């Protein structure tokens, strides 16, 4: 007898037009403000705003931050390596987009 196992998938959709503060990003990603500062310094995140207190992040920063955190924790890649990996993933996505067009 086959048994089907199902699991609930929980999440929310964050539109790209949404802006998150540093505090909101910290809460959403369960990280620290210091880690966000590292990601900004490495180029992983690109906030708008002239000062750290005024930083605002687009909705896409949430997914990017979560991916960066997973790479760092699961694969034990340092911040610089994560920035490089994300840059390469961005380039791959861009090339795939060009091929589809």
Residue 3 lies in a domain: no
Residue range 9-32, pLDDT digits in tens: 555 555 566 789 999 999 988 889
What does the pLDDT read at residue 95?
Answer: 96
Residue range 52-68, pLDDT digits in tens: 889 999 988 988 988 99
What does the pLDDT read at residue 13?
Answer: 54
CATH at residue 66 = 1.10.1660.10
Residue 34 lies in a domain: yes
Nearest to 38 by CA among 22, 60, 54, 19: 22
Residue 51 lies in a domain: yes
- Interacting residues of 62 by C-beta distance below 8 A, sequence separation 6+: 14, 20, 25, 28, 29
Residue 56 lies in a domain: yes
Q: pTM score, two decimals?
A: 0.71
pLDDT, mean of residues 32-54 = 90
What torsion, rounded to 10 degrees, do the Cα atoms 88, 91, 97, 98 define? Answer: -140
Largest distance between two CA atoms of the chain: 62
What does the pLDDT read at residue 73?
Answer: 87
pLDDT greater at residue 101 or residue 3: 101
String of b and e for 34-55 (b: at least 16 CB within 10 Å)? ebbebbbebebbebeeeeeeeb
């Amino acid at each position: 007898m086959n048994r089907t196992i199902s699991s609930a998938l929980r999440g929310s959709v964050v539109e790209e037009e949404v802006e998150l503060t540093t505090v909101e990003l910290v809460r959403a990603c369960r990280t620290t403000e210091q880690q966000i500062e590292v990601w900004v310094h490495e180029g992983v995140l690109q906030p708008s705003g002239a000062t750290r207190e005024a930083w605002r992040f687009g909705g896409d920063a949430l997914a990017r931050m979560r991916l960066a955190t997973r790479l760092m924790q699961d694969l034990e890649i340092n911040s610089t390596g994560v920035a490089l990996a994300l840059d390469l993933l961005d380039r791959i996505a861009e090339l795939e987009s060009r091929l589809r067009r």
